[in-house]
Amino acid sequence: MEIIPQVQDALTFIHSLNVAPIEDKLQASRARYEKLIPLAGEEEAVFSVEDKTIGFTDRNVNIRIYRPDNKKVLPAVVYFHGGGFFKGSLATHDRPLRQLTNLSGVVVISVDYRLAPEYPFPHGQNDCIDTTEWIIHHAAELGIDHHRIAVAGDSAGGTLAMAVAAKLKNILCQILIYPLTDCSFAAPSWSTFAEGPIVTLKSANEFWKYYTAGKMNTIPLYDNDLSGVPDTFIISAEYDPLRDDAVLYAEKLRQAHVEVKEMIYPKMIHGFMQMGGVIEEGREVMAEIAAYVRGKLRF
Protein backbone atom coordinates (compact mmCIF):
# COMPACT_ATOMS: atom_id res chain seq x y z
CA MET A 1 0.00 0.00 0.00
CA GLU A 2 1.54 3.27 -1.15
CA ILE A 3 0.39 6.24 0.92
CA ILE A 4 0.84 9.31 -1.27
CA PRO A 5 1.82 12.64 0.39
CA GLN A 6 -1.65 14.24 0.27
CA VAL A 7 -3.26 11.20 1.87
CA GLN A 8 -0.51 11.14 4.50
CA ASP A 9 -1.20 14.81 5.27
CA ALA A 10 -4.87 13.97 5.84
CA LEU A 11 -4.01 10.98 8.04
CA THR A 12 -1.55 13.06 10.05
CA PHE A 13 -4.27 15.64 10.68
CA ILE A 14 -6.73 12.94 11.75
CA HIS A 15 -4.23 11.29 14.09
CA SER A 16 -3.45 14.66 15.69
CA LEU A 17 -7.03 15.24 16.81
CA ASN A 18 -7.45 15.24 20.57
CA VAL A 19 -10.74 14.18 22.12
CA ALA A 20 -9.13 12.81 25.28
CA PRO A 21 -11.35 14.87 27.65
CA ILE A 22 -14.36 12.87 26.43
CA GLU A 23 -14.34 9.57 28.31
CA ASP A 24 -17.34 7.96 26.59
CA LYS A 25 -16.03 6.07 23.55
CA LEU A 26 -19.12 6.69 21.45
CA GLN A 27 -19.23 10.42 22.15
CA ALA A 28 -15.48 10.73 21.57
CA SER A 29 -15.84 9.14 18.15
CA ARG A 30 -18.64 11.52 17.28
CA ALA A 31 -16.60 14.52 18.42
CA ARG A 32 -13.59 13.37 16.42
CA TYR A 33 -15.73 13.06 13.28
CA GLU A 34 -16.96 16.64 13.70
CA LYS A 35 -13.33 17.80 13.92
CA LEU A 36 -12.67 16.45 10.40
CA ILE A 37 -14.62 19.34 8.85
CA PRO A 38 -11.52 21.46 7.94
CA LEU A 39 -10.23 18.66 5.69
CA ALA A 40 -12.95 19.58 3.18
CA GLY A 41 -11.38 22.98 2.54
CA GLU A 42 -12.83 26.45 2.87
CA GLU A 43 -16.57 26.98 3.19
CA GLU A 44 -17.86 28.04 -0.22
CA ALA A 45 -20.53 30.69 -0.56
CA VAL A 46 -23.82 29.33 -1.93
CA PHE A 47 -26.74 31.40 -3.26
CA SER A 48 -28.91 30.30 -0.32
CA VAL A 49 -28.77 27.82 2.55
CA GLU A 50 -31.93 27.14 4.55
CA ASP A 51 -32.42 24.90 7.57
CA LYS A 52 -35.90 23.42 7.85
CA THR A 53 -37.63 21.01 10.22
CA ILE A 54 -40.10 18.47 8.87
CA GLY A 55 -42.74 17.45 11.38
CA PHE A 56 -43.94 13.87 11.19
CA THR A 57 -46.54 12.42 13.54
CA ASP A 58 -43.95 10.70 15.74
CA ARG A 59 -40.76 12.76 15.27
CA ASN A 60 -39.10 15.72 13.60
CA VAL A 61 -36.35 15.50 10.97
CA ASN A 62 -34.07 18.43 10.17
CA ILE A 63 -32.93 19.13 6.63
CA ARG A 64 -30.61 21.70 5.06
CA ILE A 65 -31.46 23.03 1.60
CA TYR A 66 -28.74 24.42 -0.66
CA ARG A 67 -29.83 26.44 -3.71
CA PRO A 68 -27.31 27.43 -6.40
CA ASP A 69 -29.38 30.32 -7.82
CA ASN A 70 -32.81 31.93 -7.82
CA LYS A 71 -34.38 29.85 -10.58
CA LYS A 72 -37.91 28.92 -9.57
CA VAL A 73 -37.72 25.19 -10.32
CA LEU A 74 -34.57 23.04 -10.30
CA PRO A 75 -33.70 19.34 -10.10
CA ALA A 76 -32.59 18.09 -6.69
CA VAL A 77 -30.26 15.64 -5.00
CA VAL A 78 -31.34 14.33 -1.59
CA TYR A 79 -28.17 13.52 0.36
CA PHE A 80 -27.54 11.23 3.35
CA HIS A 81 -24.30 11.74 5.25
CA GLY A 82 -21.86 9.03 6.25
CA GLY A 83 -20.60 8.18 9.71
CA GLY A 84 -21.19 4.49 10.33
CA PHE A 85 -24.89 5.07 11.14
CA PHE A 86 -23.91 6.47 14.56
CA LYS A 87 -22.17 9.78 13.85
CA GLY A 88 -22.20 12.62 11.37
CA SER A 89 -24.51 15.60 10.98
CA LEU A 90 -25.56 18.43 8.74
CA ALA A 91 -22.33 20.16 9.78
CA THR A 92 -19.92 17.32 8.89
CA HIS A 93 -20.99 17.36 5.25
CA ASP A 94 -21.81 21.04 4.85
CA ARG A 95 -18.66 22.01 2.95
CA PRO A 96 -18.70 19.13 0.43
CA LEU A 97 -22.39 19.72 -0.25
CA ARG A 98 -21.80 23.42 -0.84
CA GLN A 99 -19.23 22.36 -3.42
CA LEU A 100 -21.68 19.91 -5.01
CA THR A 101 -24.39 22.57 -5.19
CA ASN A 102 -22.14 25.05 -6.96
CA LEU A 103 -20.64 22.47 -9.32
CA SER A 104 -23.93 20.80 -10.29
CA GLY A 105 -26.27 23.77 -10.38
CA VAL A 106 -29.03 21.73 -8.72
CA VAL A 107 -30.67 21.94 -5.31
CA VAL A 108 -29.01 19.71 -2.71
CA ILE A 109 -30.98 18.68 0.38
CA SER A 110 -29.10 17.15 3.30
CA VAL A 111 -31.05 14.93 5.71
CA ASP A 112 -30.22 14.82 9.44
CA TYR A 113 -31.53 11.33 10.13
CA ARG A 114 -31.57 9.77 13.61
CA LEU A 115 -28.44 7.92 14.69
CA ALA A 116 -27.73 4.57 16.31
CA PRO A 117 -27.37 3.23 18.95
CA GLU A 118 -29.99 5.55 20.47
CA TYR A 119 -32.09 4.95 17.35
CA PRO A 120 -31.07 1.64 15.74
CA PHE A 121 -32.42 0.21 12.50
CA PRO A 122 -34.93 0.99 11.07
CA HIS A 123 -35.23 4.50 12.59
CA GLY A 124 -32.56 6.22 10.51
CA GLN A 125 -33.61 4.42 7.34
CA ASN A 126 -37.24 5.35 7.91
CA ASP A 127 -36.22 8.99 8.38
CA CYS A 128 -34.44 8.94 5.02
CA ILE A 129 -37.31 7.26 3.17
CA ASP A 130 -40.04 9.38 4.76
CA THR A 131 -38.13 12.63 4.32
CA THR A 132 -37.43 11.94 0.65
CA GLU A 133 -41.08 11.10 0.10
CA TRP A 134 -42.05 14.34 1.88
CA ILE A 135 -39.67 16.29 -0.38
CA ILE A 136 -41.24 14.74 -3.48
CA HIS A 137 -44.76 15.61 -2.28
CA HIS A 138 -43.74 19.17 -1.34
CA ALA A 139 -41.54 19.80 -4.37
CA ALA A 140 -43.54 22.81 -5.57
CA GLU A 141 -43.10 24.75 -2.33
CA LEU A 142 -39.41 23.80 -2.23
CA GLY A 143 -38.85 25.01 -5.77
CA ILE A 144 -37.75 21.66 -7.16
CA ASP A 145 -38.95 19.42 -9.98
CA HIS A 146 -40.41 16.25 -8.50
CA HIS A 147 -39.73 14.45 -11.79
CA ARG A 148 -35.98 15.08 -11.50
CA ILE A 149 -34.79 13.88 -8.10
CA ALA A 150 -31.71 11.81 -7.30
CA VAL A 151 -30.47 10.34 -4.03
CA ALA A 152 -26.88 10.17 -2.88
CA GLY A 153 -24.77 9.35 0.13
CA ASP A 154 -21.35 8.33 1.33
CA SER A 155 -20.45 5.26 3.38
CA ALA A 156 -23.44 4.54 5.66
CA GLY A 157 -25.26 7.31 3.81
CA GLY A 158 -24.72 5.41 0.58
CA THR A 159 -26.36 2.39 2.16
CA LEU A 160 -29.31 4.54 3.18
CA ALA A 161 -29.54 5.99 -0.33
CA MET A 162 -29.79 2.43 -1.66
CA ALA A 163 -32.75 1.80 0.63
CA VAL A 164 -34.50 4.99 -0.44
CA ALA A 165 -34.00 4.32 -4.15
CA ALA A 166 -35.36 0.80 -3.72
CA LYS A 167 -38.45 2.01 -1.85
CA LEU A 168 -39.40 5.08 -3.87
CA LYS A 169 -39.73 4.19 -7.53
CA ASN A 170 -39.64 7.73 -8.97
CA ILE A 171 -35.97 8.35 -8.09
CA LEU A 172 -34.05 8.98 -11.33
CA CYS A 173 -30.62 7.83 -10.15
CA GLN A 174 -28.52 7.04 -7.11
CA ILE A 175 -24.95 8.13 -6.36
CA LEU A 176 -23.21 5.82 -3.89
CA ILE A 177 -19.84 6.86 -2.51
CA TYR A 178 -17.98 3.89 -0.96
CA PRO A 179 -21.23 2.41 0.40
CA LEU A 180 -21.58 -0.53 2.74
CA THR A 181 -23.40 -3.16 0.66
CA ASP A 182 -22.60 -6.41 2.52
CA CYS A 183 -22.67 -6.75 6.30
CA SER A 184 -20.82 -10.08 6.31
CA PHE A 185 -17.47 -8.23 6.06
CA ALA A 186 -16.16 -11.28 4.21
CA ALA A 187 -14.95 -9.77 0.92
CA PRO A 188 -11.16 -9.90 0.34
CA SER A 189 -10.70 -6.15 0.84
CA TRP A 190 -11.91 -6.51 4.44
CA SER A 191 -8.92 -8.79 5.07
CA THR A 192 -6.46 -6.71 3.06
CA PHE A 193 -7.39 -3.49 4.87
CA ALA A 194 -8.52 -4.97 8.19
CA GLU A 195 -6.39 -2.38 9.98
CA GLY A 196 -7.54 0.53 7.83
CA PRO A 197 -6.63 3.26 7.20
CA ILE A 198 -9.73 5.05 8.53
CA VAL A 199 -12.20 2.12 8.73
CA THR A 200 -11.00 -1.13 10.32
CA LEU A 201 -12.69 -4.52 10.48
CA LYS A 202 -13.06 -4.06 14.24
CA SER A 203 -14.68 -0.62 13.93
CA ALA A 204 -17.01 -1.89 11.20
CA ASN A 205 -18.27 -4.67 13.44
CA GLU A 206 -18.76 -2.14 16.23
CA PHE A 207 -20.80 0.31 14.21
CA TRP A 208 -22.85 -2.50 12.68
CA LYS A 209 -23.60 -3.74 16.19
CA TYR A 210 -24.76 -0.22 17.11
CA TYR A 211 -26.97 -0.05 14.03
CA THR A 212 -28.54 -3.49 14.43
CA ALA A 213 -28.89 -3.37 18.22
CA GLY A 214 -26.73 -6.48 18.35
CA LYS A 215 -28.71 -8.45 15.75
CA MET A 216 -25.68 -8.53 13.49
CA ASN A 217 -26.79 -10.36 10.34
CA THR A 218 -30.54 -9.78 10.34
CA ILE A 219 -30.72 -6.73 8.05
CA PRO A 220 -30.57 -7.21 4.25
CA LEU A 221 -28.91 -4.19 2.64
CA TYR A 222 -30.66 -4.69 -0.68
CA ASP A 223 -33.21 -7.00 -2.27
CA ASN A 224 -32.17 -9.98 -4.37
CA ASP A 225 -34.23 -8.56 -7.24
CA LEU A 226 -32.39 -5.42 -8.37
CA SER A 227 -34.24 -4.96 -11.64
CA GLY A 228 -36.11 -1.90 -10.38
CA VAL A 229 -33.03 -0.03 -9.13
CA PRO A 230 -32.44 3.30 -10.91
CA ASP A 231 -29.29 4.18 -12.84
CA THR A 232 -26.35 4.12 -10.47
CA PHE A 233 -23.01 5.86 -10.06
CA ILE A 234 -20.90 3.91 -7.57
CA ILE A 235 -17.57 5.23 -6.31
CA SER A 236 -14.99 3.38 -4.26
CA ALA A 237 -11.42 3.82 -3.05
CA GLU A 238 -8.57 1.38 -3.66
CA TYR A 239 -7.35 1.35 -0.04
CA ASP A 240 -10.77 0.89 1.53
CA PRO A 241 -12.11 -2.28 3.16
CA LEU A 242 -15.52 -1.49 1.63
CA ARG A 243 -14.06 -1.52 -1.90
CA ASP A 244 -14.89 -5.09 -2.94
CA ASP A 245 -18.44 -4.88 -1.61
CA ALA A 246 -19.07 -1.88 -3.85
CA VAL A 247 -17.56 -3.67 -6.85
CA LEU A 248 -19.72 -6.75 -6.20
CA TYR A 249 -22.87 -4.63 -5.88
CA ALA A 250 -22.07 -2.88 -9.16
CA GLU A 251 -21.72 -6.23 -10.89
CA LYS A 252 -25.03 -7.48 -9.48
CA LEU A 253 -26.71 -4.32 -10.76
CA ARG A 254 -25.31 -4.94 -14.24
CA GLN A 255 -26.61 -8.50 -14.14
CA ALA A 256 -30.04 -7.02 -13.39
CA HIS A 257 -29.63 -4.77 -16.46
CA VAL A 258 -29.26 -1.59 -14.41
CA GLU A 259 -27.11 1.09 -16.01
CA VAL A 260 -23.99 1.50 -13.86
CA LYS A 261 -21.13 3.96 -13.92
CA GLU A 262 -18.30 2.78 -11.67
CA MET A 263 -15.11 4.49 -10.55
CA ILE A 264 -12.40 3.15 -8.25
CA TYR A 265 -9.98 5.87 -7.18
CA PRO A 266 -6.39 4.54 -7.04
CA LYS A 267 -4.48 4.96 -3.76
CA MET A 268 -7.45 6.64 -2.10
CA ILE A 269 -8.82 5.90 1.37
CA HIS A 270 -12.29 5.75 2.86
CA GLY A 271 -13.65 9.25 3.38
CA PHE A 272 -11.51 10.98 0.75
CA MET A 273 -14.57 12.78 -0.64
CA GLN A 274 -14.64 14.84 2.58
CA MET A 275 -10.94 15.69 2.31
CA GLY A 276 -10.93 17.90 -0.78
CA GLY A 277 -9.08 20.66 1.04
CA VAL A 278 -6.05 18.37 1.32
CA ILE A 279 -6.51 15.58 -1.24
CA GLU A 280 -6.91 16.57 -4.89
CA GLU A 281 -9.07 13.52 -5.64
CA GLY A 282 -11.57 14.78 -3.08
CA ARG A 283 -12.21 17.77 -5.34
CA GLU A 284 -12.13 15.65 -8.49
CA VAL A 285 -14.79 13.25 -7.25
CA MET A 286 -17.16 16.13 -6.49
CA ALA A 287 -16.76 17.34 -10.08
CA GLU A 288 -17.45 13.81 -11.35
CA ILE A 289 -20.59 13.53 -9.24
CA ALA A 290 -21.79 16.96 -10.36
CA ALA A 291 -21.30 16.04 -14.02
CA TYR A 292 -23.21 12.78 -13.53
CA VAL A 293 -26.06 14.58 -11.78
CA ARG A 294 -26.35 17.17 -14.54
CA GLY A 295 -26.43 14.45 -17.18
CA LYS A 296 -28.95 12.21 -15.46
CA LEU A 297 -31.28 15.00 -14.36
CA ARG A 298 -31.15 16.41 -17.91
CA PHE A 299 -30.03 19.79 -16.74
**Burial grade of 54 (CB within 10 A; 0-12, 13-18, 19 or more):** middle
What is the helix (H) or strand (E) element at residue 32, kind and residue range? helix 25-34
Residue 48 CA to residue 52 CA, distance in Å, equals: 13
Helices 123-137 and 156-167 pack at an angle, to 10 degrees, of 50
32 phi-psi bin (left φ>0, alpha ψ -120 to 50, beta other): alpha
> Which amino acid type is present at position 114?
R
> Which listed residue (130, 145, 245, 270) is catalytic?
270
Per-residue pLDDT of the chain (299 residues; tens, 9 = 90+): 899 999 999 999 999 998 878 889 999 999 999 999 999 999 999 999 999 999 999 999 999 999 999 988 999 999 999 999 999 999 999 999 999 999 999 999 999 999 999 999 999 999 999 999 999 999 999 999 999 999 999 999 999 999 999 999 889 999 999 999 998 899 999 999 999 999 999 999 999 999 998 776 666 677 778 988 999 999 999 999 999 999 999 999 999 999 999 999 999 999 999 999 999 999 999 999 999 999 999 86
> Which listed residue (155, 189, 244, 245) is catalytic?
155
Q: Are strands 173-177 and 144-154 parallel, antiparallel or unpaired?
A: parallel
Residues 6+ apart with CB under 8 A from 12: none
155 as an active site residue: the answer is yes
Report pTM: 0.96
> Which listed residue (130, 240, 244, 245) is catalytic?
240
9 as an active site residue: the answer is no
Residue 217 CA to residue 215 CA, distance in Å, equals: 6
CATH superfamily of 5-296: Alpha/Beta hydrolase fold, catalytic domain (3.40.50.1820)
Nearest to 155 by CA among 208, 108, 193: 208
**Amino acid 9: pLDDT:** 96
What is the helix (H) or strand (E) element at residue 15, kind and residue range? helix 5-16
> How far apart, in Å, do the first and last CA atoms of the chain sit?
40
- Give the C-alpha distances (Å, rounded to integers) separating 206 from 36, 64, 211, 214: 20, 29, 9, 9
257 as an active site residue: the answer is no
**Amino acid 220: pLDDT:** 67
